[in-house]
Structure 1
Amino acid sequence: MEKAPRKKAFFSVARWAPLNEALVRAKEALSSSDLAERDLHEHLRSGRLLSSMRRIERDGSEIFARVKPPFWNGLTLMETHELGSDGLAKRSGKVQVRGLDVKFVANAKLWFFVARSDLYRLYPVGGARADAEDSEHAEDGGPSARRKPGKKLTNNWRVYVAAELARYVEAGKPLPSAKDLAEYCQEKWGNEPDISDIHKLIRFLF
């Protein structure tokens, strides 16, 4: 019996964040470039932060594939520098992967990405931080725990919320919190879904 052909991996910016974006997010969470470089590499090497790669050859052919954690052994992440308007070198917010085999990078350009779901879990800044705070309030019996659940919406609110999330992803902005999305629904339709339902949708998408 012939084996079914392996399904070709598909790149989606909604699922995969550029490594540069991961560095910026880690720096914001840790307030340190050095710690961001160190921790990102360790997360990649341990598999806590899933990664992928787009490799484009000189002839235009492209390969997109998942990168296994051992790939990162022996490599280092280093934020590059660029000259500012004052002529002084400043950190660029762009990360360089050092230690790659010369044969591996010859005649090709490489771009590395990380799973957004892992990135947002490891570095909960912006909207993700607000979600974490909502959870803490709920556990402590705070305001979020006493929040009245919204009525069931008759329209397909998930489609519109997903589109709103996609808009943030395309703009490179931190995702809004579940509470923010509930307020978005309230403003748009005068009603809002349960916060728990919005959390489920975010987990499904990312």
Structure 2
Amino acid sequence: MFEWFSVIGTIAFAVSGAIVAMEEEYDVLGVFVLGLVTAFGGGVVRNLLIGVPVTTLWEQGLYLKIAVAAMALTLVVPTRWIHRWKSWGSFFDAIGLSAFAIQGALYAVQMGLPLGAAIVAAVLTGSGGGIIRDLLAGRKPLVLHDEIYAFWAILAGVAVWLGWSETPGQLFALFLAVVAMRMLSVHFRWRLPRRSLRGRTGGGAKA
């Protein structure tokens, strides 16, 4: 079942990258590049950092084909369907975030790496592709400034490292918990604290 969640996540991430490319009026090649980067970029960077051969990407032939098919479909469907997808996009994206974050943390734990590595692997796998996508599109990375997103990947990494996903039941419960927290944060517009320096160019207070 977990593989199906990864498939859904791959489709969601690939389509989100394709939609961003079309919003920025990229050509067909740009659509496929941004879609693939969104779906697989985080995993590639994770592999580099934790010592997994980057060539393992080519072992995911089925996921690559699914991503390409999803992006090709995005190019030809009516615009109203894309708008309808965007209304459900947060839910499918939450599935992808949860599945990929847990997957990344499991990689790190199986290699006997420390907690910090599990967290980094979870964050990069779950949200790294979106960060790269936004940078390539000339946007501020959405996951770092507008929504609580990467934080849920951090919690997934901690939970996996603590051994809270050793059985299929625990793994599924963790998956559902991350999806639920992500959707709650979208619904209630939760934000992490931040400090803005805009409009504070003067050296002192006005009289």
Same fold per superposition (TM over 0.5): no
Please report the TM-score for the alignment, with normalisation by the length of structure 1. Answer: 0.29
Question: Whose Rg is larger?
Answer: 1
Please report the TM-score for the alignment, with normalisation by the length of structure 2. Answer: 0.29
Which one has a larger percent strand, Structure 1 or Structure 2? 1
Which one has a larger percent helix, Structure 1 or Structure 2? 2
